[in-house]
Amino acid sequence: MSNFEEAPIRDNTRLLELHGQQMCVTDAGSGPAILFVHGLMSSRMTWSDQWRRLAADHRVLAPDLFGHGESAKPLGDYSLGAHAASLRDLLDAFGLDSVCVVGHSLGGGIAMQLAYLFPERVERLVLVSSGGLGRELNPLLRAATLPGSEFVLPLLASGWVHDVGDSALRMWSRVGLPAVSPSSTEAWQSLATLADGDTRRAFLATSRSVIDAGGQTVGARNRLAGLRSRDVLLVWGERDRMIPSSHVEAARVELPHSQVAMLSRSGHFPHLDEPDAFAAVLAEFVRGSGRAAGDPVAPAPPSRSA
């Protein structure tokens, strides 16, 4: 059992002490519990629109993983197993036996690891543009793990580079060019977090634990058979340039009864690119509609997001 202390820092958000390190967690709503797990270089806030929708009839937990956001960034283990163990400790701290886990990108890999190591804690699983389902990965993330990247990343994340980039984005919109997608904006803003030395060190430790120059090094496909007895939803953006949507088909081979939702106007962050469509699909899944496993997810309403 983890050592648990809390200190409120804003509405529904707490700093929890897990084994001597502070983890920032948003805890909202009441009812059946949902745990949101963000991706690499991201934070719990990427889920804010979704947890506000679901908190009406669910209890929602959205932590900043260690090394991210407002949580501690200690020296130590940033492997998938270490992150999964921290989430298990988080559930213990809140007295939750089992939850629906929604994981995006790296968070999807962590969610699968949580389900593999502690299967009794994961009731349902939602994998959003998930890592761990194939080797292919965007070259930029692969390059970030190369030797010497610790010297290049501070330059890319520096304030003056971002000032130039932000100015270019504003000019882009003013001259009437197509809008930059929320996925691209989130990725650009996430890069700025690497200007902080502790965050950058944690990023490198995390990314190098699952990525090398050739792509993803940790795969879950040979362990997915253990998930066949539970409800699994795969959500992907057809325009994902970070992790290809073809990984969905690889997962379906091992999880033939999983449900799949492909969002046609989304990139790597479908919950940001098409929030209404994503929310409709997620709400139907987590609340349970009585569909048999493997039935297609009902078409979602068009998103208001561009």
Looking at residue 138, the DSSP 8-state letter turns out to be -
Tokens of 296: 């297609």
Token reading at 268: 């790597």
Catalytic residue at 240?
yes
37 forms beta bridges with 103
- Tokens found for residue 106: 């790296």
User: By CB neighbour count within 10 A (0-12 exposed, 13-18 middle, 19+ buried), where does 127 fall?
Assistant: buried
Q: Cα separations (Å) of 12 from 6, 30, 45, 209, 259? A: 12, 12, 13, 32, 32
Q: Which of 83, 104, 268, 271 is catalytic?
A: 268
From residue 99, alpha-carbon distances to 31, 80, 85, 121 in Å are 11, 19, 15, 6
Instruction: Supply 134's token pair.
Output: 């194939």
Select which of 240, 247, 271, 303 is catalytic: 240
Q: Is 257 a catalytic residue?
A: no
Number of neighbouring beta carbons within 10 Å of residue 224: 22
Of the residues 2, 105, 181, 303, which is catalytic?
105
* 58 is known as an active-site residue: no
Q: Which residues are catalytic?
A: 105, 240, 268
